[in-house]
């Protein structure tokens, strides 16, 4: 593999909620950031968002030389990408728009630059289809909010080179992310599919009158969710098997688990179900307010992520 210069300058294209979060994260890790977004007032909103995220990022620990002053905003895409080593794109989720945007980014960025998309629903194969150099186009899908949650899903399309995937994984890992390589393009990637599986059964249980919305939330938040925040489903199963580990668990519980699978629901998102869930959430909320809940959640998340980073054993 030939040597590439280290990634020092990142272009952030599209500076809405996700783009602004990425920009703050890159700055906190000592990188130069060139940002661009065509919407009116975008620069002021971006600088305000970065300033809002900065105290959280400071608690995580800023890299040497990290500074909000290293953010530059550009009126045009071409200016923003001129010196980029890596591009993080966060534009609207419309394929026709993305194809044209990636074609323009491919024309504007230096030949060594990687073009990564935060897209949650579109395939890389589709997005790279108009590029002269599709080999450098890759998915870098964060889990919201990117300045806080370490997961990034990295996927190549039909035209993406293995080297691009490798370099992208290495870059994200070097700035404290936890990249995973998704080997096939599937709808929703990995994390959103796993969430969808749980939501499907949660909605089914509400619809069947098995439990209230609040009790279902309690079941996860004060039960398996605590374990899942520490390690994933396979490792949890392994630990539950004692000395025999996961092989022992699957030998004894394989049948019952399969029986549960067969009994899981497949609800339709009807008006009645939507209303039932909305009313259930309102009852669960009571008089608690969203801003306080969000602040409490983020403080706890921050402490948890920092605690996880401090222990090597559970990695």
Q: Residue 4's pLDDT is what?
A: 66
Question: Considering only CA atoms, which of 221, 251, 227 is closest in space to residue 239?
Answer: 227
Structure tokens at 249: 């668990």
* Pairing status of strand 137-142 against strand 151-156: antiparallel
Q: Are residues 27 and 68 in contact, defined by beta-carbon separation less than 8 angstroms?
A: yes
Classify 151 as helix, strand or coil: strand
Q: How far apart are CA 315 and CA 312, in angstroms?
A: 6
In the DSSP assignment, the letter for residue 132 is S
Residues 137, 102 contacting (CB under 8 angstroms) = yes
Give burial (CB, 10 Å; 0-12/13-18/19+) of 96.
exposed
Q: Which residues contact 109 (CB under 8 A, 6 or more apart)?
A: 11, 81, 84, 87, 115
- Going 191 to 215 to 253 to 267, the CA torsion angle's sign is negative
DSSP 250: H
Backbone torsions φ then ψ of 140, nearest 5 degrees: -130, 80
> Token pair for residue 90?
């966060």
177 vs 294: CA distance, rounded Å: 22
What is the model's pLDDT at position 311? Answer: 87
The token duo for 315 is 């990695």
Decide: helix, strand or coil at residue 261. Answer: helix
Please report the pLDDT score of residue 3 as a whole number.
54
Nearest 5°: CA angle at 41, between 39 and 43? Answer: 95
| φ, ψ dihedrals at 264, nearest 5° | -65, 150
User: Domains in the chain and their CATH numbers?
Assistant: 9-181 (3.40.50.720), 191-310 (1.10.1040.10)
* Nearest CA-CA partner of 6 in 178, 176, 174: 174
Task: For residue 277, give the H/E element and its range.
Answer: helix 271-285
Nearest Cα to Cα of residue 11 among 95, 90, 99? 90
Q: Is beta strand 114-117 parallel, antiparallel or unpaired with respect to 137-142?
A: parallel
**Would you write out the chain's pLDDT as a tens digit for each of its 315 residues?**
455 679 999 999 999 999 999 999 999 999 999 999 999 999 999 999 999 999 999 999 999 999 999 999 999 999 999 999 999 999 999 999 999 999 999 999 999 999 999 999 899 999 999 999 999 999 999 999 999 999 999 999 999 999 999 999 999 999 999 999 999 999 999 999 999 999 999 999 999 999 999 999 999 999 999 999 999 999 999 999 999 999 999 999 999 999 999 999 999 999 999 999 999 999 999 999 999 999 999 899 999 999 998 887 876
Nearest to 175 by CA among 136, 135, 142: 142
Q: Which of 96, 31, 105, 35 is closest to 62 using CA atoms?
A: 31
Rounded to 5 degrees, φ, ψ at 6 are: -60, 150
Query: Are residues 211 and 272 in contact, defined by beta-carbon separation less than 8 angstroms?
Result: no
């Amino acid at each position: 593999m030939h040597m590439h210069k280290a990634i020092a300058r990142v272009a952030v294209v599209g500076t809405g909620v996700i783009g602004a979060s990425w920009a703050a994260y890159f700055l906190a890790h000592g990188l130069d950031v060139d940002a661009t977004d065509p919407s009116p007032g975008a620069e002021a909103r971006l600088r305000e968002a970065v300033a809002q995220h900065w105290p959280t990022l400071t608690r995580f620990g800023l890299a040497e030389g990290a500074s909000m002053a290293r953010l530059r905003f550009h009126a045009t895409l071409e200016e923003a990408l001129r010196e980029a080593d890596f591009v993080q794109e966060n534009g609207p989720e419309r394929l026709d728009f993305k194809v044209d945007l990636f074609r323009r980014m491919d024309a504007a960025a230096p030949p060594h630059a990687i073009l990564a998309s935060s897209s949650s629903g579109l395939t890389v194969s589709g997005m790279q289809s108009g590029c002269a150099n599709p080999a450098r186009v890759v998915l870098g899908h964060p889990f919201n909010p990117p300045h806080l949650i370490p997961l990034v899903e990295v996927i190549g399309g039909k035209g993406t080179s293995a080297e691009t995937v490798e370099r992208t994984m290495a870059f994200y890992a070097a700035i404290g992310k936890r990249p995973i390589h998704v080997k096939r393009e599937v709808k929703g990637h990995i994390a959103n599919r796993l969430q969808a599986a749980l939501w499907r059964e949660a909605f089914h249980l509400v619809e069947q009158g098995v439990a209230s919305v609040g009790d279902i939330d309690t079941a996860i938040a004060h039960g398996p969710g605590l374990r899942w925040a520490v390690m994933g489903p396979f490792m949890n199963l392994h630990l539950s098997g004692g000395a025999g580990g996961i092989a022992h668990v699957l030998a004894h519980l394989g049948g019952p688990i399969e029986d549960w699978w067969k009994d899981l629901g497949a609800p339709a998102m009807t008006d009645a179900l939507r209303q039932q869930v909305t009313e259930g959430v309102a009852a669960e909320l009571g008089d608690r307010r969203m801003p306080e809940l969000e602040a409490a959640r983020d403080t706890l998340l921050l402490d948890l992520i920092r605690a996880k980073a401090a222990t090597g054993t559970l990695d």
